[in-house]
Structure 1
Amino acid sequence: MKSLLALSRLIDTVNRCLGRAVTWLILVVVVVSATNAVVRKFFNVSSNAWLELQWYMFGAIFLLCAGYTLLKNEHVRVDVVAQRLSRRTQIKIEIFGILFFLLPASVLIAYLSWFMFADSWVTQEYSSNSGGLIRWPAKLLIPVGFFFLIAAGISHLIKCIAFLTGDGPDPMEKLSEKSAEALLAEEIAREAAERDAAARHTGTTTGH
């Protein structure tokens, strides 16, 4: 179990680094989208290549962050019934879902999409749109994204088994990493508290 948990930590580290890196594409997508809109509005110029680049990056965000999302326990679960059960029963249901739904479906999609990518690579397939981009990089995202999702599923499965055997913490708890919005709110609150403390100190000094 120690070796399996070490593998789980390695997978989590890779997915965490990949997820945090890919999330920066959101900023790039926003910049590209805004630039396309401005150029099309004011210069009446449009490019299929730039439009397709937006789609490629959106696909990269969705697919490459799937494993990171599972790591953070942010995938949607319909748990109206399960939430009324004991935690151990919930974990057993989680294991069943991973073994019979998540992993089989992900492996099948990764397997089939690899041949789709290979065919696109061999033929050097291009977009059917005028001035469009080459297609194989977008198709490569599918097997790669599902590979990382499969790895995250294996990691989650290991942690679920470790919890049942008493060798690990509850894997269903969401990670306590704070979002940028939460950190900003804390910083604003801290600065406000410091200003209030300074004002009270000034008032006390003036009173004396």
Structure 2
Amino acid sequence: MSSIASFVRGVETLNGWVGKTVAWLALGTVLVCFATVYLRYALNTNFTWLQEAYVWQHATAIVLGGAYTMMTGGFVRVDIFYGKMAPRNRALVDLFGTLLFLFPFMAVVGWAFWRHFWSAAVVGEGSPNPGGLPAWWLLKGTLVIFVALTTLQGLAMIGRSLLVFGGREEFAGTSSH
């Protein structure tokens, strides 16, 4: 059980670090968006790469922050029943929800995202817009990272459930990160 607890803590430390780091992209998104609007309307100039930069930042924050959001219980769910359940019953719901819904979904989107990323990386895909950002395949790579981090978090959720079943009540619920 101690190796499962170490795995859960390790995954949640990683996802906590990633989530808190990409949260700063929200500030970057606002600043770059402001600069784009200011340049366009106050100085009557426009840079396509700057417009694409704030879209990239926003997308990256959302995609890479997904596992952190799942870890902290930030996704919307119907808590009518779940919130009132005993820790062991919540662990059971988390276990089966992860196995029956999360993992099959990650397998399907992981395969699709990988193919999408790989085909873009092989040709060195860039922006279709003149003056846009090069290496769009990097942005598409964030989708693959999303799948990896979310799958790891799913494994950590299973680990939490197993720990709760083994009497480790301190692992009930979401992470404290």
Tell me the TM-score normalised to structure 1 length.
0.78
Whole-angstrom distance in 2 between the partners of 1:57 and 1:113: 19
**In structure 2, distance between residues paired with 1:144 and 1:68:** 13
Residue 166 of structure 2 corresponds to 165
The CA distance in 1 between the partners of 2:106 and 2:58, in whole Å, is 20
Give yes or no for contact 1:63–1:146 (8 Å, CA) kept in 2.
no
Q: Residue 96 of structure 1 corresponds to which residue in structure 2?
A: 96
Q: Is the 8 A contact 2:12 2:175 kept in 1?
A: no
After TM superposition, the structure 1 stretch with the greater mean CA deviation from structure 2, 121-130 or 54-63, is 121-130
- Computed over aligned residues only, the root mean square deviation of the Cα atoms, in angstroms, reads 1.7
Letter in 1 for 2:90: Q
Q: CA deviation at 1:58?
A: 0.8
Aligned residue type for 1:41: Y
Name segments (4+ residues, structure 1) moved above 3 Å: 81-87
User: Separation in 2 of the partners of 1:162 and 1:100?
Assistant: 19
CA contact (8 A) 1:47 1:131 kept: yes
Which of structures 1 and 2 has the larger relative contact order (alpha carbons within 8 angstroms, sep 6+)?
A: 2
> What is aligned with 2:66?
66
Q: Distance in 2 between matches of 1:167 and 1:151?
A: 20
Q: Which moved more, 1:75-84 or 1:17-26?
A: 75-84
Shift of 1:154: 0.8
Letter in 1 for 2:132: G
Q: 1:82, CA displacement in angstroms?
A: 3.3
Cα displacement string for residues 19-73 of structure 1 (whole angstroms, at most 9, x for unaligned residues): 1111111111111011111110111111221111111111110111111112212
Greater Cα radius of gyration, structure 1 or 2: 1
Q: CA deviation at 1:173?
A: 4.9
- Equivalent residues of 1:113, 1:143 under 8 A apart: yes
TM-score under structure 2 normalisation? 0.91
- Mapping of 1:11-22 within 5 angstroms? 11-22=11-22
Q: Alpha-carbon deviations, 1:114-160, whole Å to 9, x = none?
A: 11111101111122222122310110010111211111111111011
User: Which sits farther off after the overlay, 138-147 or 159-168?
Assistant: 159-168
Distance in 2, Cα, partners of 1:38 & 1:97: 46
Q: Which residue number corresponds to residue 30 of structure 1?
A: 30
Instruction: State the distance in 2 between where 1:110 and 1:146 align.
Output: 6
Give aligned-pair identity as a percent.
Answer: 24
- 2: CA distance between counterparts of 1:49 and 1:173? 39
Is residue 11–residue 155 contact of structure 1 (8 Å, CA) maintained in 2? yes
Which residue number in structure 1 is paired with residue 146 of structure 2?
Answer: 145
Where structure 1 has 5 or more consecutive residues not aligned to the other structure, the ranges are: 178-208
Q: Which amino acid aligns with 2:167?
A: G
**Pairs aligned (count):** 176
Counterparts of 1:19 and 1:38 in 2: how far apart (Å)? 29
1:106-145 correspondence runs (5 A): 106-134=106-134, 135-145=136-146
For 1:45, what is the secondary structure of its paired residue? coil
